[in-house]
Copies of this chain bind each other. A is one copy, B any other.
Amino acid sequence: MRFFSDNAAACCPEVLAALGAANRLDTAYDGDGLSKRLDGAFSDLFGCEVRALWVATGTAANSLALAALCQPHQSIVCHRDAHIQNDEGGAPEFYTHGAKLLLAEGEGAKLTPDTVQALLATVRADVHQVQPAALSITNATEYGLVYTPDEVAALGALARERKLGFHMDGARFANAVARLGCHPADLTWRAGVDALSFGFVKNGGLSAEMLVFFRPELADATLYRRKRAGHLLSKGRYMAAQVLAMLEDDVWLRNARAANDGAARLAGAAGARLLLPVEANELFIRVTPEEAQRLRDQGFDFYDWGPGEARLVTSWDSDPAEVDALATAIAAL
């Protein structure tokens, strides 16, 4: 019974079926009929004109977005615990040719206008210091918190005022939207977001992640950068097929709700053990090493997260019976 990562989950049946349906001769790269539908499909979803590009990983989506918003001699403001800082092997530095990440603070990996401004205030406006050009947040955050539309908009207003491009790492964007029940536009372009890494793989996809530009002109150079990074797959139809299948009938939202529901069920059982509110599909709980062992002895697998802490992740296909079993086990600790 695995609760250590939504990356461990299988693909949802709609995705596999779409791969089969796409399995025919078509134009190579992104010239196929399915890939050509993406701009339209995401423009419909977001209610504005967007450009939407598939790539093979969220790391590539994030890094291409940052390269579109930040010159090599500039810098990107993000949270100290951001995935782009800690878990992408330096990909942002690679794609931006060495831009710096400037690290801001905030509870639960969430930035606020105050913490961003405090960081910006430390940068002198001279050539000896790397000047900020972009702001990047993660929604849902690395600690499973969710930025509301108002919170995003407050950061978006600051970004505009300071002339920073605004990127959202949405590896778990679906979980955030599912939690908030808002329109996807409210969390993105209406709140000032320029580029969104829209995650599909953790949420039931196989290998396709999306990079969505709300300023369509940013896509022009990105198409070249994607090719240059080796992310223009030769049989792109299979990338588009996965994503279109998950947009259809809101599979992406249904999957995210299922994952969130599992986490909420566990949160109820964890009670005072919770380190942070549970707003998406991740829980961080206090457990002694002995308690952690007791859970593992019952067949539950998860990551330790520092001394006396554990991370539990649910996914679109978490078995309700297994979730119940874990909830019971946690309550019984």
Task: Give which listed residue, B91, B221, B228, contacts A91 with CB less than 8 A.
Answer: B228
Note all chain B residues with C-beta closer than 8 A to A23.
10-11, 16
Query: Which residue of chain B has its CB nearest to the CB of A317?
Result: B25
Can you list 29 residue pairs at the A/B interface with Cβ under 8 Å?
A: A5-B28, A7-B29, A8-B25, A8-B26, A8-B28, A16-B20, A19-B19, A19-B206, A56-B231, A56-B233, A60-B230, A60-B231, A71-B221, A72-B90, A73-B89, A73-B94, A86-B129, A88-B228, A88-B230, A89-B232, A90-B99, A90-B100, A90-B130, A93-B93, A95-B230, A96-B98, A97-B97, A98-B98, A207-B235
Number of A residues, CB within 8 Å of B: 71
Note all chain B residues with C-beta closer than 8 A to A71.
221
Note all chain B residues with C-beta closer than 8 A to A172.
none
Query: Which residue of chain B has its CB nearest to the CB of A122?
Result: B86
Note all chain B residues with C-beta closer than 8 A to A55.
230
Query: Which residue of chain B has its CB nearest to the CB of A226?
Result: B127
A245 to chain B, nearest CB (A): 14
Task: Give which listed residue, B28, B131, B207, B226, contacts A233 with CB less than 8 A.
Answer: B207
Query: Which residue of chain B has its CB nearest to the CB of A27?
Result: B8
Residue of A24, A93, A95, A201 contacting most chain B CB atoms (<10 Å): A93
Q: Can you list, as one digit per residue, whether each of A299-319 has a CB less than 8 Å from chain B (1) or not (0)?
A: 000000000000000000100
Given contacts A93-B98, A127-B89, A128-B88, contact A231 B228 (CB under 8 A): no
Q: A88-B227, A201-B234 are in contact. List 8 more A-B contacts (CB 8 A).
A: A11-B238, A19-B19, A57-B233, A61-B230, A90-B98, A97-B97, A100-B101, A230-B231
Please report the C-alpha to C-alpha distance between residue A91 and residue B29 in the assembled complex, in whole angstroms.
16
Residue of A24, A95, A227 contacting most chain B CB atoms (<10 Å): A227
**A48 is an interface residue with CB less than 8 A from chain B:** no
A73 to chain B, nearest CB (A): 4
Structural contact, A225 and B73, CB atoms closer than 8 A: yes
Note all chain B residues with C-beta closer than 8 A to A278.
none
Interface residues of A in 55-100 (CB under 8 A from B): 55-61, 63, 71-75, 86-91, 93-100
Task: Give which listed residue, B10, B73, B225, B227, contacts A228 with CB less than 8 A.
Answer: B73
Query: Which residue of chain B has its CB nearest to the CB of A1?
Result: B25
- 6 tightest A-B contacts by CB? A60-B230, A93-B98, A7-B28, A89-B227, A59-B230, A7-B234
